[in-house]
């Protein structure tokens, strides 16, 4: 199948081997992935706006590849109501300022029917306006995030704080005995709101927050913070620092010897995290996501093997913390919405149908949008990194998002 794929980029044909991840990573903005067959009635245009370059690139590339997998599956099965899905990619470059201009190409130039993408909340905040408001286009945001995004025509297919933290933090406190938490964070909306959630759950369970600090996203010097963590008797670090600051923070925390003293949680950590930090710095870290490669779910395992077959040499894996699962789920939920409107691609029609979209199978398990909330329910898994793998500690089926109700 792959050998027949041809990618057109503003009319320029390229060899199919470029589908391999290496070919994509260096590629800039403005790719089009044409389906291998056409329908006289046209195609469904799907825009992907994600971080192909910049600090978040490892997650962005996993996102883009997950979108290709989902679309390939749809097109191989005959498209949606006979129409193939055509993929348009714009690089948001891990920079909201650049992204606003690039996303505009998807809306005004390619005139796509739906846009999926954005990884950090800073990115979502920046691009939702050109997409939903200025562009009057349906927007699906695939990443785990801080909640409270209740914009009309915007659907979130990644986990919310309720889904990620409602069980993880009580588990850490009551079963693992962690009592003194530190919340080092990047200074933007996701850590700020997630920490509010975390602080409440931590205090309700009888533990305390010893410190909560916010750093500029690109801060590289954390010795004062690490020293405080070491001296204040912190036994668990609830880490919401993100790249590019993340690498320096984890390294300095590791080198200070904290890993012998206490535990750490980072709720976006997954199989892709080795692209950001050294393996030794991942050891023992807890996470809570909607899929890990180690879960016992036949459909997820099949998806992962299909993904790996499609992108054999990639280092960007099909993983949840990189929004790849949310991306796949988003594409499939959108497919259901288009089926429900009987092929009507108008924004208001598909948006109304998204309210009731559901998939029986997906990464990590089934999922559906809870009507009136714009958020998805999904299975959640608590896991700990052990020797390069994520050991599943517990799982819970169809966890509700508890947002925008």
Minimum distance between the CB of residue 213 and other proteins, rounded to whole angstroms? 11
For residue 185, what is the enclosing H or E element?
A: strand 180-186
Token representation of residue 246? 């993340």
Q: Closest CB to other proteins among 10 and 260?
A: 10
The smaller minimum CB distance to other proteins, of residues 188 and 258, is found at 188
Task: Choose one: 167-175, 188-196, 273-281, 338-346; the region binding other proteins (CB under 8 A).
Answer: 188-196
Each residue 93-132 as x (binds other proteins by CB under 8 A) or -, in order, gives --xxx--xxx-xx--xx-----------xx--xx-xxx--
Q: Among 214, 293, 352, 396, which residue interacts with other proteins (rule: CB under 8 A)?
A: 214
Told to check if 15 binds other proteins by CB under 8 A, we report no
Rule CB under 8 A: say whether 9 interacts with other proteins.
Answer: yes
The angle formed by the CA atoms of residues 265, 381 and 54, to the nearest 5 degrees, is 55
- Name the one range near other proteins by CB under 8 A: 170-178, 185-193, 201-209, 287-295: 185-193
Nearer to other proteins, 126 or 169 (CB): 126
Cβ within 8 Å of residue 78, ≥6 positions away: none
Beta carbons within 10 angstroms of residue 352's beta carbon: 15
Among 19, 29, 74, 288, binds other proteins (CB under 8 A): 29
Q: How far is the CB of 209 from other proteins (least distance, A)?
A: 18
- How far from each other are the two terminal CA atoms of the chain, in whole angstroms? 43
Smallest distance, Å, CB 396 to other proteins?
31
Alpha carbons 368 and 333: distance in angstroms, whole number: 8
Q: Is 147 in the site for other proteins (CB under 8 A)?
A: no
Residue with smaller CB distance to other proteins, 18 or 209: 18
State both tokens at 45.
């245009």
Q: How far is the CB of 188 from other proteins (least distance, A)?
A: 4
16 near other proteins, rule: CB under 8 A: no
Rounded to whole angstroms, the Cα distance separating 176 from 155 reads: 35
Tell me if 187 contacts other proteins by CB under 8 A: yes
Q: By CB under 8 A, what part of segment 217-236 binds other proteins?
A: 217
- Closest Cα to residue 77, out of 237, 306, 294, 239? 306
Inter-axis angle of helices 57-76 and 324-340, to 10 degrees?
A: 30
Distance CA 173, CA 206 (A): 8
**What's phi and psi for 208, nearest 5 deg?**
-130, 155
Crossing angle, helix 223-231 and helix 245-255, to 10 degrees?
40
Is there a contact between 211 and 228 (Cβ–Cβ < 8 Å)?
A: yes
Nearer to other proteins, 94 or 367 (CB): 94
Minimum CB distance to other proteins, residue 158 (Å): 18
Residue 291 near residue 320 (C-beta atoms within 8 A): yes
Binding of other proteins at residue 30 (CB under 8 A)?
Answer: yes
Least separation in angstroms between residue 88's CB and other proteins is: 13
CA distance 234 to 208: 10
Say if residues 374 and 139 touch (Cβ distance below 8 Å).
no
Number of residues that bind other proteins (CB under 8 A): 34
Give the nearest distance from C-beta 156 to other proteins in angstroms: 16
**All residues at 6 or more sequence positions from 171 whose CB lies less than 8 Å from its CB, including other chains:** 382, 393, 394
Encoded one letter per residue, x for contact with other proteins by CB under 8 A and - for no contact, window 331-370 reads ----------------------------------------
Stretch touching other proteins by CB under 8 A, among 210-218, 230-238, 285-293, 294-302:
210-218
Return the H-helix or E-strand segment holding 398. strand 389-399
Half-sphere exposure of 285 (CA within 13 A, CB side): 28
Q: Which is nearer to other proteins, 29 or 182 (CB)?
A: 29
Nearest approach in angstroms of CB 117 to other proteins is 16
Residue 97 or 387 with smaller CB distance to other proteins:
97
SS3 assignment, position 81: coil
Residues in contact with other proteins by CB under 8 A are 9-10, 26-30, 95-97, 100-102, 104-105, 108-109, 121-122, 125-126, 128-130, 133-134, 186-189, 192, 214, 216-217
């Amino acid at each position: 199948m792959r050998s027949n794929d041809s990618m057109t980029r503003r009319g320029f044909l390229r060899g199919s081997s470029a589908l391999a991840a290496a070919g994509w990573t260096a590629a800039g903005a403005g790719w089009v992935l044409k389906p291998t067959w056409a329908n006289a009635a046209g195609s469904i245009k799907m825009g992907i706006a994600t971080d192909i370059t910049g600090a978040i690139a490892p997650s962005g590339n996993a996102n883009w590849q997950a979108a290709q997998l989902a679309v390939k599956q749809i097109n191989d099965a005959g498209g949606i109501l006979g129409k193939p899905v055509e993929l348009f990619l714009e690089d948001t470059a891990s920079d909201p300022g650049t992204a606003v201009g690039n996303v505009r190409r998807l809306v005004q130039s390619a005139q796509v029917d739906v846009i999926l993408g954005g990884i950090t909340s800073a990115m979502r905040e920046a691009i939702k306006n050109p997409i939903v408001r200025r562009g009057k286009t349906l927007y699906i945001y695939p990443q785990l995030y801080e909640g409270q995004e209740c914009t009309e025509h915007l659907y979130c297919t990644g986990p919310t704080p309720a889904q990620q933290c409602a069980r993880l933090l009580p588990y850490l406190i009551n079963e693992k005995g962690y009592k003194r938490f530190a919340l080092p964070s990047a200074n933007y909306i996701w850590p700020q709101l997630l920490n509010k959630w975390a602080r409440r759950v931590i205090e309700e369970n009888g533990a305390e927050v010893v410190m909560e600090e916010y750093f500029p996203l690109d801060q590289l010097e954390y010795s004062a913070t690490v020293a405080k963590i070491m001296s204040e008797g912190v036994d668990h670090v609830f880490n919401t620092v993100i790249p590019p600051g993340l690498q320096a923070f984890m390294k300095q925390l590791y080198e200070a010897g904290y890993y012998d003293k206490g535990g750490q949680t980072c709720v976006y950590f997954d199989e892709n995290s080795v692209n950001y930090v050294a393996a030794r710095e991942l050891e023992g870290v807890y996470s809570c996501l909607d899929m890990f490669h180690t879960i016992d779910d036949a459909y997820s395992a099949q998806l992962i093997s299909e993904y790996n077959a499609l992108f054999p040499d990639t280092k960007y894996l099909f993983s949840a913390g990189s929004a790849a699962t949310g991306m796949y789920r988003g594409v499939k939920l959108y497919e259901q919405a288009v089926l429900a409107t009987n092929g009507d691609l108008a924004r208001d029609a598909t948006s109304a149908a998204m309210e009731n979209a559901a998939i029986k199978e997906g990464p990590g398990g089934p999922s559906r949008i809870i009507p009136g909330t714009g958020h998805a329910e999904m299975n959640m898994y608590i896991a700990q990194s052990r020797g390069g793998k994520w050991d599943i500690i517990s799982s819970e089926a169809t966890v509700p998002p508890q947002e925008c109700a």
